[in-house]
Structure 1
Amino acid sequence: MATATGMARYKGRTVTLNTGQILPSIGLGTFQDPDEQEMSVYTALKNGYRHIDTAHNYGTEKQVGRGIRRSVVSRDKVFITTKLWCNSHHPDDVEPALDDSLRDLGVDYVDLYLMHYPCSGYSPNGASSLSTTKGLRRLARKQGNQDYAVQPERQSQHFYWDVSWTKDVAQMARLIDHPILQAIAQKHGKSPIQIALAWGVVNGRCVIPKSTIEWQIKENLEADSIPLYKEDLQQIAKMDQKARFNDPTELFGYKLYVGLDGAAP
């Protein structure tokens, strides 16, 4: 695969996919702020990022592509993730949707192509997730699912860590200000945000922080090298709030998540 050679030289923490592809554990998120994304992608690549996450529905693929071309980093050294929006889940719609993303990004391929949400009924043509997956399999180097309910995955995992989000934007600072994160951050000489990101990486996950500010972009990537201790992880586990910031269940008329009692009014 074209990405394997370039990513093999990446020095940060990675996750190896079942295709053998190497996925950098920290990527740059590009949701919202379209006017800022070209520069943020360029800045991220300049500072060592090699994983850029975008989506057709973000409306930022063109800016992401320009940022990549503006950098001096070759295509095979950048892991690009984009996503199939749920109004294009019919197998006949998958290829045109991917073509649109490739055109906007200005690339010949993406490394990871995800179903953005599993709401196949949201597609005007109707489709099942299985038929969508078959359409994806023909086209992308690796297909996957984003924003699925976690319940089916529990059968294949020995344990599951719930992500700690607060209910709305106005409350999000509470996570950063949590005494546990504050204490661990002080111990390591890092910020609470870096500790939260490091927690995800240490647990073998890929995390996608988003910022358009250079010092924040750099600080987020530094979380890759923070060695959290067993007692740190045990303390962070106590923060589980069973809540999620973004839950469009009512919009789609499709129950996307389970076990999120903290998200209830």
Structure 2
Amino acid sequence: MEYCFKKRGIDMGILVDAQSICKDYGNFALKDISFKIESGNITGFLGRNGAGKTTTIKSLLNLITIDKGTIKLFSESASIDFSKIGVVFEECNYFNNFTVKEIEIMQKKICKNWDQNLFAEMTTQFNLERNLQASKLSQGMKKLLCLSVVMSSKPSLLILDELSSGLDPNMRVETLQILRDFVKIPEHAILFSTHIMEDVVKIADQIIIVKNGSIVLDESKEQLLLREAKNEHINEIEKLEKIFFQYTDSSYKR
């Protein structure tokens, strides 16, 4: 199924512009995190556990106060309309006390851009029963429920933290296709963190790798795969895994 995500009348080139973000927790710090995400772009945000991916995402969403740096979303640094942003975190437990039907009723009341038809289509595709309470779902199915909610809210920017972990192969394929459809509209973009290299190879345009709170690589996937390991007879997933280890594991021999 191909989903049609309608424009919201937003004309933009750079959806995310993060410059020199710093946040010091004492035992861990983000150090001069800088990157941009252009409209029509899917950016894979990679790093080992504890590298700073989730902290960076929380910084973008103003869930933590940064010590230094600037963040502009949709070319705005203040009074950001967060209805333009759809977020799915790795832990999706915030709808646990509601059924799918109750979530639909609630979102219809509070979300000005709510697309009831899209929500019905996505929850049907994901086999989410309307009278089933979200707490009864597996963690993977909770993520699909959250994705259905945020997509139906008609955002322009999706920020996804480990969305595909916990999904079975069929659901992963269907979910990746939905993300491809989403960025067919130029004014849309996606930032997604993952440990699944196959997903990055399949849908990412740009790859950012974070290590110990710093960005160690920011490059287009196409250029990166051409530049690295170009003489080796390995597939693209294996190439990307090798590149990931080169940039994140100090003991790895290039």
* TM-score normalized by the length of structure 2: 0.35
* TM-score normalized by the length of structure 1: 0.34
